[in-house]
Structure 1
């Protein structure tokens, strides 16, 4: 089997099974593990898979640049955002992560809702200009790929706030890899913000479910729930629940 055909097979298995084990696939195809590992390295380099110990996981499509992300699963993001907004009580203090789903939350948030919003995203802060909410913007080095403040100064500033809830954006939600994102500084900032909130809710549109990125953010048991519109009877939903995730289905219950 030629390399191109093997890679197509690997991508099909990643879509179908949510993972590939190099040893098992090598045995099935009658090839050396080195051949499969080489294919996985090349797919990882191309951004089509994420190599992990023993194999690979599906790469998240949400690691593209911020502008391109707005076109990824917009309807799903709107449903997730609407469900998330329902969790914000009048007078609450909440932290909004950066990203296109939190921006969709701002669009769904009643303009008259009196609350306090803390964010490290200048785009989210700007979108709140016409809202009644009090807005606090955390500063730091601007990470342009995701339009958020990161780095030591941002983490230090985050450690001085506290909130009722944090709405966390990630690029991957996978039963094996957990909650992941594409940059280590972003992952560190997300952990810092999560530590300042009583509850952490993960925003997980359909493009995030069953995929992974390079850097871990939090384990499932460090979150209150994962808000998603992926159906409860979807095989990946069942795997996530088995792995300890609490799924809050947009438009339905847990």
Structure 2
């Protein structure tokens, strides 16, 4: 078997199974583990897979600037936002992470809602500026331009003085075993702090985010209370999240 054929087969198996273990893969393809490790290194280098210790996971979606992401899967994000909006209650302190799906949620909060929204996302704060009954607290810090969120020590220290009833978390990658992950290390500190100060944590994730991993781990997947995702995802894909005790809501 040619190397190119073997690597295509590896990619097909990864898409089918959601993860690969190098030792098992060498047995399946009847080649040495050294050959498999070399294949995985090469495939990771060109962005075909995400290589991890002992195997491989699907590559997370490519990083796209915030402005461009606003035009992707708009109807899907709106459905997820509508589902997530049903989780808010009057009198809550609501923590809202950045992201184009959380922005849709901010735009759909009921006009009758009386609550306090704390966010590190300038677009979310602007979207809520005209809300008649929601108090908005914008957390300061260094602006991460790709995601339009404030990060850094100032943001983390401010969050340390807050207790939130619910956190709506933007998701870059989510894997039931690897956890919540992002491509930029500074984002991990803020997201991790958001999770730690919140009674409930809601992940808003389109289907392309599930079963993938990125470079820097935020927290284990069982940190989530709810996973709000698309309605057409199979039970097989969602089963590991249910087994972790996460309530999965599909929209």
Shift of 1:107: 2.4
Change (3 A) 1:155 1:168: same
Change (3 A) 1:85 1:29: same
For the aligned residue pairs, the C-alpha RMSD in angstroms reads: 2.0
Match of 1:189 in 2: 190
Match of 1:6 in 2: 6
Shift of 1:112: 4.4
Match of 1:39 in 2: 39
Change (3 A) 1:115 1:16: same
**1:89 lines up with 2:101 in the alignment:** no
TM-score, L = length of structure 1: 0.89
Shift of 1:97: 0.4
CA contact (8 A) 2:173 2:209 kept: yes
Q: Deviations over 1:173-212 (max 9, x none)?
A: 2222122222221111101112222211111221212222
Aligned-partner SS, 1:6: helix
CA contact (8 A) 1:205 1:230 kept: no
Instruction: Tell me how far apart the structure 2 counterparts of residues 42 and 145 of structure 1 sit (CA, whole Å).
Output: 28
Shift of 1:103: 0.9
Instruction: Tell me how far apart the structure 1 counterparts of residues 234 and 33 of structure 2 sit (CA, whole Å).
Output: 35
CA contact (8 A) 1:179 1:219 kept: yes
Match of 1:23 in 2: 23
Q: Which runs of 5+ in 2 are unaligned?
A: none
Aligned-partner SS, 1:221: helix
How many residue pairs match? The answer is 250
Instruction: Tell me how far apart the structure 2 counterparts of residues 140 and 148 of structure 1 sit (CA, whole Å).
Output: 9
Match of 1:58 in 2: 58
User: Where in structure 1 do 4 or more consecutive aligned residues deviate above 4 Å?
Assistant: 230-233
